[in-house]
Amino acid sequence: MIYSLRGIVSHIDNNIAIIECNNIGYICNVSNHTLNGLTLGSESYLYAHMIIRQDDINLYGFLSKEELNMFKLLINVSGVGPKCGISILSSLTPELLINAIQLEDYEVIKVCQGVGAKVSKRIILELKDKVNDLDQNKLGSSSETVNKNSLSLVALEAMEALESLGYIKSEIYKVVRKYDVDSNSIEDIVKGALKELR
């Protein structure tokens, strides 16, 4: 099995990168996040995962070990193949995906190409306990990561107000994002959220 590749990036295409190592070009399937971190003609290091099937061999490359670990978890979910796993990681960083799973926010996951509500809920169901076992420090998976990337400043301030009242952060997030629109003030969001949280 191939654990990693270090070589020159000789070709970049749609979710494909070719890494030249000792005059051999390895085709790697990559996420958009990894693709954006590669520079044509420059040396790069990718963590690799090889999938061997009866009629096919595919290599998947990742700039970070965290993304590789998340990919391995995803492809073990029923109904999620490697192509779907790469699609999810192209839309969501490992940090955001872990937070969505922990908060049971299937809406965040189902927007990824090729992922519907059913698969999104299955990912949450099968991975909720497993993501807690990952190195949380490296993945930076606190609920703050999701909040800062998916909520407006007004909504974040509303969340802080609700937290000071003793409500649980994960429950607040689920409710507050429904009211996070440009026309709402902090007071509007807090009032609307309190109706659902009580």
- Assigned domain for 71 exists: yes
- The yes-or-no verdict on residue 138 having pLDDT over 80 is no
CATH number, domain containing residue 14:
2.40.50.140
- Assigned domain for 146 exists: no
CATH number, domain containing residue 171:
1.10.8
- Assigned domain for 118 exists: yes
- The yes-or-no verdict on residue 129 having pLDDT over 50 is yes
Higher-confidence position of 111 and 27:
27
Q: Do both 87 and 117 map to the same domain?
A: yes
Q: Do both 48 and 90 map to the same domain?
A: no
Q: Do both 118 and 73 map to the same domain?
A: yes
**If pLDDT is split at 50, 70 and 90, which confidence band does 143 have?**
very low
- Assigned domain for 122 exists: yes
- Assigned domain for 145 exists: no
Residue 84 and residue 115 in contact, taking contact as beta carbons nearer than 8 Å: yes
Q: Do both 17 and 83 map to the same domain?
A: no
- Assigned domain for 40 exists: yes
Give the model's pLDDT for residue 133.
65
Give the model's pLDDT for residue 134.
63
Q: Do both 57 and 73 map to the same domain?
A: no
Higher-confidence position of 189 and 155:
189
Q: Do both 75 and 101 map to the same domain?
A: yes
The pLDDT tens digits of the residues spanning 42-92 come to 999 999 999 998 888 999 999 999 999 999 999 999 989 999 999 999 988
Q: Which of 73-87, 100-114, 148-162 has the lowest mean pLDDT?
A: 148-162
Q: Do both 22 and 36 map to the same domain?
A: yes
CATH number, domain containing residue 109:
1.10.150.20
Please identify which residue in the block is written with the tokens 């189902």. Answer: 110
Q: Do both 155 and 130 map to the same domain?
A: no
Domain count, the chain: 3
The pLDDT tens digits of the residues spanning 24-38 come to 999 999 999 899 899
Name the residue range of residue 185's domain: 151-197
Q: Do both 21 and 55 map to the same domain?
A: yes
